[in-house]
Amino acid sequence: MLDRPVNGANLKEGPERLLDAVGVSVDRMPMLHVIFDKMSALCSENLRRLSASPAFFSVDAIGTRRIGDFLDAYESNVVIGVFNVAAWDSRILIGLDCNFVFALAEALFGGDGGESERLDKRPFSALELRLAQKAFELLGKAMEASFASVCEAALSLERVETRLDFAVVAPRNTFGVVTRMRLRILGRSGEMFVLIPQGALNSIRPHLGRNPSADMAVRDPGWTKQIETEIGRPKSPSGA
């Protein structure tokens, strides 16, 4: 029986192991663009539960990076939610930079965007970390719903970290799929990222490689059920 590495991912052999070592282009997984576009819309909707001010998310970029190189760019400027995805036998990261957290906090407490932006690198306060945790719960639900049309991806928030050396989900020299999103609220902007170890996607890579415009099998099951219900509903007689 094979031993499992500490990150929970199964050991790979042959072509899969080679792909993990060199990184797979997201061009070979076009469904990721569909999934994260949908996630950005759901994030905008879900954050309405925290603030009456409209929040707008957009996808800045999707690509593959070495995990260590990507995280090092943030230093202490980020708070990270570590999520377990049991169906993938892996963990993923969702990160919020300080501008994201500060802008969300101002909107939550009735600000109008008139406060000057914080330029210091002070630690996050306990209140800001609690707000970040609530945001992670809502953002995780958005990501879970976005993947639902392709595969099961129930996300469970395990912990919130501010130290990058504690946010370990895979070896630093391995590749991950990184999606960067932009939040705009109260005239401010902040950055959010989703980091998925590439090995976590091995089991669903065939689904992610489908052509979004041609493959009707990837349609949203909830939307499909609603359409079928409407079609099957008896029509009222004319003039009724």
Residue 237: Cβ-neighbour burial (10 angstroms; 0-12, 13-18, 19+): exposed
Question: Which CATH number covers residue 152?
Answer: 3.40.1550.10
Q: Map residue 32 onto helix, strand or coil.
A: helix
3 occurs within a structural domain = no
pLDDT for the residue numbered 211: 82
pLDDT for the residue numbered 212: 77
119 occurs within a structural domain = yes
At 3-34, the pLDDT tens digits run 333 343 444 454 444 445 556 788 889 999 99
112 occurs within a structural domain = yes
Provide the 8-state DSSP code for 74: T
Q: Map residue 104 onto helix, strand or coil.
A: helix
166 occurs within a structural domain = yes
135 occurs within a structural domain = yes
User: Smallest Cα–Cα separation from 33: which of 211, 175, 200?
Assistant: 211
- Structural domain total, the chain: 1
**Chain centre to alpha carbon of residue 71:** 15
Instruction: Return all residues near 240 (Cβ < 8 A) that are at least 6 apart.
Output: none
6 occurs within a structural domain = no
Domain coverage including residue 175: 14-232
What residue spans of 47-190 are helical by DSSP H?
Answer: 67-72, 98-108, 126-147
pLDDT for the residue numbered 185: 92
d(CA 143, CA 224): 19
Mean pLDDT by 10 residues, the chain (240 residues): 38 47 76 95 91 90 94 89 95 96 88 59 89 96 94 94 90 95 93 95 88 59 54 51
pLDDT for the residue numbered 115: 61
7 occurs within a structural domain = no
SS3 of 171-234: CCCCEEEEEEEEEEECCEEEEEEEEEEHHHHHHHHHHHCCCCCCCHHHCCHHHHHHHHHHHHCC
pLDDT for the residue numbered 120: 62
d(CA 216, CA 213): 8
pLDDT for the residue numbered 113: 55
196 occurs within a structural domain = yes
